[in-house]
Amino acid sequence: MSETDPHRPPDDPITQGARARIQGRPRDACPYPVNSPERTAWLEGYDGSPADRSPDRPLDNG
């Protein structure tokens, strides 16, 4: 399918955020309002990780 296919469903916010990062757009280019679920999803796509996931713990080398 092409990008202009009228039967293609629109990209979800996560895909849009990931695409924005790949295209070199800044993180603040998110088109969704602050505190909206769509913004959270867009930023998850941009950052490549779920917003509700805590950071990974460091590995113990001992």
> What is the per-residue pLDDT across 14-60, written as a single tens digit (0 to 9) for each?
999 999 999 999 999 999 999 999 999 999 999 998 877 655 667 77
pLDDT at 2: 43
Q: How many CA atoms lie within 13 A of 31 on its CB side?
A: 7
Instruction: Provide the pLDDT confidence category of residue 1 given band limits of 50, 70 and 90.
Output: very low
Name the E strands within the chain: none
**Segments making up each domain of the chain, as ranges:** 13-47
Q: For residue 10, name the pLDDT band (cuts at 50, 70, 90).
A: confident
